Amino acid sequence: MADYRIDHDANACMRCGLCVAFCPIPGILEEGEDGGPVILDTEECVGCRTCSGNCPVRALSVEATGEEIDDPFADEERAEPLSAALHEQYVQWQRIIMEKLGLRWQPVAVGLIEKDELLPDVALPPENLRFCQAMMAARRGASILMPPGKHSCPDGTSIFGMTGVPEKLATGEIYVLFHKLVNAEAAANMVAERPTLPEKSRRATYVAPLAKCVREPEVVVITGTPEQMMWLCMSMSYYTGHRFDFHASGYNSMCVEAVLYPLMEDEPNITFGCYGCRAASDIGEDMMFMGLPTHLLPTVVEGLTELAKKAIPDSRNKIYVDPIM
């Protein structure tokens, strides 16, 4: 686990109090007599950088010290990897999905490691990451295992049942500070509506490209354009004509909408991304996401294979548009 240092430039500080107000973890910062922040204890700092990101003059900075806290899992037995046959199946599915849709990014396999489950033999990141940041790295090819101490977003760890939820997040207070919701009542409603896993029911998250995963994923998340999401929907309804009911809000997109809804309801779900996901990663404005329960992948592959024979190329070739247009 990374250790973090908080530096405060008293000369630049405006004494606005925003850093103290925005810090989601109690006991790290408090407001001093002059209105500026007092740094109390950085041991609980997860490196979310919410305080420094909301400082209007960048008078506060949060940096990893480069010193690693002892890994509590270093001597643990690790889980056996996937069988060669299942691994090869995932490799083929990823190739077909990417080829038929023309995806730029690799589908990401997501595992939520249960409290008594052996961890996969995957390295921890050197610095804490938000879950959405880990997802963006995985679509580029990284494999990342994160126990709660490696997550820099306490919202995500509480949603995934790894920790409790800090008071500012439980009440929705921090969402009002971000000006993402009108008042505490609206924020509390949003928090109450979102699904969460039971506290302390999971011990880590695992993400990797589908073709590289070493553990069977509960959910696979695909990053793409709205047009590519359309074909994903059509691939799953190709043989049935079924229409889907999606849950999308713009809040907690990766953890709730892309992972928990597909996991808990056993149905695909779309998400447009959220404030945190888009502010903390390189995801483009034209990109959105779909989470799929893993057992739907054969249906997706079969449906896309059929759609790619005529429907996809005809649509992309604009066959109903006259050449003069």
Q: What is the pLDDT along the chain (325 residues), one digit of tens a residue?
A: 568 889 999 999 999 988 998 888 888 899 998 888 998 888 888 888 888 888 989 898 898 886 655 667 778 899 999 999 999 999 999 999 999 999 999 999 999 999 999 999 999 998 899 999 999 999 999 999 999 999 999 899 999 999 998 888 888 888 888 888 999 899 889 988 999 999 999 999 999 999 999 999 999 999 999 999 999 999 999 999 999 999 999 899 999 999 999 999 999 999 999 988 998 888 889 999 999 999 999 999 999 999 999 999 999 999 988 876 5
207 DSSP assignment: E
Length of the chain: 325
Contact 162, 112 (CB under 8 A): no
How far is CA 228 from each of CA 8, 233, 316, rounded to the nearest angstrom?
45, 9, 11
Cα–Cα distance, 156 to 151 (Å, whole number): 8
Q: Are 273 and 131 in contact (CB under 8 A)?
A: no
Which residues fall within 8 angstroms of residue 223, CB to CB, at 6 or more apart?
Answer: 103, 104, 105, 108, 139, 283, 287, 288, 289
Name the one residue in this structure whose structure tokens are 């390189």.
282
Strand partners, 112: 205
Residue 227: closest CA among 96, 94, 100, 95: 100
Could you give the CA distance from residue 183 to residue 112 in angstroms, rounded to a whole number? 33
